[in-house]
Amino acid sequence: MTTSDSIPQYALGSTDAEHERLIWQAERFAPLTERLFREAGIGPGQRVLDIGSGVGDVALLAARLVGSSGEVVGIERDARSIARAQARVTDAGLHNVSFVQCDLSQIPDSKSFDAAVGRFILMWLPDPVSVLRSVSRLVRPGGVLAFQEPYWAPLLSLLAPLPLWSAAASLIYKTFQLSGADPDLGPALYQAFQEAGLPGPAMRLEMPMGKGPGFAQWFYDILCTLRPQILKFNLPIGPLGDLDTLVERLQVEGRFSDSVVCFPPPVGAWARKHAD
């Protein structure tokens, strides 16, 4: 099912399990996102737009940086995700974070923002440049655009010597691609910013690595989320064996290898919009 002929179905969906996965993932990526936002100059008193806000983790992080004198507006088209995000904002006792339900191609005009941000969102869009361009119009001259998008190539290379990890990673990568997502958008952000009329951004790649149990858990969780898509595309999930024991088998393979494993590394890119 598609919402329109041109907009592919969002592959990760919006189940309760996916919401929990996003929150779990956000805890691991928060330090990377915070470093990027601080480097980009996001701070107290600013008004920040968060696109593709999901269940609100980036908006909550930005709210901490801008403080009570600032404001954060999240854009998200999925009503269930917004309900969860709004409940988390209420639980956190925040009054300066709100969400607008709409597609990113139809963000309503509003008072200008000091910054527009997003994490793991442009990779899902059929035309990330046009969204960057329209979002940048909502940012004041001299304001900031800061995004984090994945770069799977180094992950695939690092995991190549580990057959089970490599099979899991390749299956996820292929499913993303067939779902219309670009799992290697990260490094292409430089050109995307320029095509959107922005200066070439400052960029960094950060790759969390190690041997801890969290890495296997991330792969298992995303495979569970993607399972309906994997089946829809007739991709071979059988070679991974019983998913119920996948985390354990990944950990064993990692433990007895010289290599480390990793999360998909995000590329952070930020630029300041030309002053008029």
Ligand X SMILES: C[S@@+](CC[C@H](N)C(=O)[O-])C[C@H]1O[C@@H](n2cnc3c(N)ncnc32)[C@H](O)[C@@H]1O
**Residues that bind ligand X in the complex, under the rule CB under 6 A:** 10, 12, 22, 26, 52-54, 57-58, 76-78, 81, 103-104, 119-121, 124-125
> 87 or 252: whose CB is closer to ligand X?
87
Q: Are strands 202-205 and 47-51 parallel, antiparallel or unpaired?
A: unpaired
> 162 or 181: whose CB is closer to ligand X?
181
With the CA atoms of 161, 259, 205 and 46 taken in that order, what torsion angle do they form, in degrees rounded to the nearest 10?
120
Least Cβ distance, residue 108 to ligand X (angstroms): 13
> 162 or 263: whose CB is closer to ligand X?
263
CA–CA distance from 114 to each of 62, 123, 145 (Å)? 12, 23, 9
What gap in Å lies between CA 97 and CA 86, rounded to an integer?
A: 8
Nearest residue to ligand X, by Cβ distance, number only: 54
What gap in Å lies between CA 224 and CA 230, rounded to an integer?
A: 10
Least Cβ distance, residue 57 to ligand X (angstroms): 4
> 52 or 254: whose CB is closer to ligand X?
52
Least Cβ distance, residue 50 to ligand X (angstroms): 7
> 135 or 246: whose CB is closer to ligand X?
135
Cα end-to-end distance, the chain, whole Å: 44
Least Cβ distance, residue 158 to ligand X (angstroms): 22
What gap in Å lies between CA 206 and CA 33, rounded to an integer?
A: 10
Strands across the sheet with 113-119, in order?
97-101, 71-76, 47-51, 113-119, 139-150, 266-272, 202-205
Least Cβ distance, residue 123 to ligand X (angstroms): 8
Which residue, 86, 120, 113, 109, is CA-closest to 265? Answer: 120
